[in-house]
Amino acid sequence: MSRLSVVKTCKLYINGAFVRSESGRTFAAEDANGELLAHVSQGSRKDVRDAVDAAHAAQGRWSSRSAYNRGQILYRMAEMMEGRRGEFVEAIRSTTGYTLGEARREVDTSVDRLVCFAGWADKIAHVLGGANPVVGPYYNFTVPEATGVVALLVPDEPPLLSLVSMLAPPLCAGNTIVAVASAVHPLPAVLLSEVCATSDVPAGSVNIITAHRTELLEHVASHREIEAIAAANLDEPQRITLQQLAADNITRVHARTLDDDGWYDADATESPWTIEPFVEMKTIWHPSAT
């Protein structure tokens, strides 16, 4: 007698837990041949609100950790991804139609990118901040501090590398994340949420919602507890909508366009200037001893 296979149902990752969408909706994740691989929860406006609430509650705890400890946690994420390398490669290869070599390259670069920003975590203050020359018996310092809750609007391709490249810079600086990941190729994002759940990332610090970006863009852009939004490869109407709605809340928007090769360009994706849009500069005056 033939056996009916049990297909995985992939959930949203909110506040350190795997939850179904409050709407109950799912969509099918299929391989390049149209075969069903999994049912994936489709995030809604309410799920975005829940994720932002979780990120807002976690932000103070995450930003108050030492920069060295945040770097350790990002490095642990890289370790866990390396340990599950084969799963990530297969998820990318089967759903995108990439060759095995292309999928391996994307996974390896994603792991290396996490390692890169794990290293940047305790060096940001020295590169973006510093001591300022002033007249008088004072010391004057500029120190970068986390902006707060950062929402990510992630493009469809490359599904893993674009998500990691957008998540790591604000996360290492002490921000908390609400990521709207690709609904076209959702499985790499699902696997990354499983990595977050098992790699010391505090609950609420990273929240990953699989959803159709066009459906949630306006809700993300108009949410008053999101302090910054990072978006990539929006079309012109989406970019205009995002900027207009975010302006009402004075929400910082960092939108960029990168082609497939651009995500592999270290100058474009691993520089401290990819962190700078997600920090606020705080200037401190202190009397000198003399």
Model confidence over 26-66: pLDDT tens digits? 888 888 788 888 899 999 999 999 999 999 999 999 999 99
| Full 3-state SS string of the chain | CCCCCCCEEECEEECCEEECCCCCCEEEEECCCCCEEEEEECCCHHHHHHHHHHHHHHHHHHHCCCHHHHHHHHHHHHHHHHHCHHHHHHHHHHHHCCCHHHHHHHHHHHHHHHHHHHHHCCCHHHHHCEECCCCCCEEEEEEEEECCEEEEECCCCCHHHHHHHHHHHHHHCCCEEEEEECCCCCHHHHHHHHHHHCCCCCCCCEEEEECCHHHHHHHHHHCCCCCEEEEECCCHHHHHHHHHHHHHCCCEEEEECCCCHHHHCHHHHCCHHHCHHHEEEEEEEEECCC
277 touches 230 (CB < 8 A): yes
Tokens encoding 271: 């520089």
pTM: 0.92
Mean pLDDT over each residue of the chain, to the nearest integer: 92
User: Predicted confidence band at 131 (pLDDT cuts at 50, 70, 90)?
Assistant: confident
Which one, of 91, 277, 169, lies nearest residue 179 by Cα?
A: 169
Give 46's Cβ-side CA count (13 Å radius): 8
User: Predicted confidence band at 290 (pLDDT cuts at 50, 70, 90)?
Assistant: low
> Does residue 116 surpass a pLDDT of 90?
yes
Residue ranges and CATH numbers for the domains of the chain are: 45-287 (3.40.605.10)
Model confidence over 169-187: pLDDT tens digits? 999 999 999 999 988 999 9
- Mean pLDDT over 229-251 rounds to 93
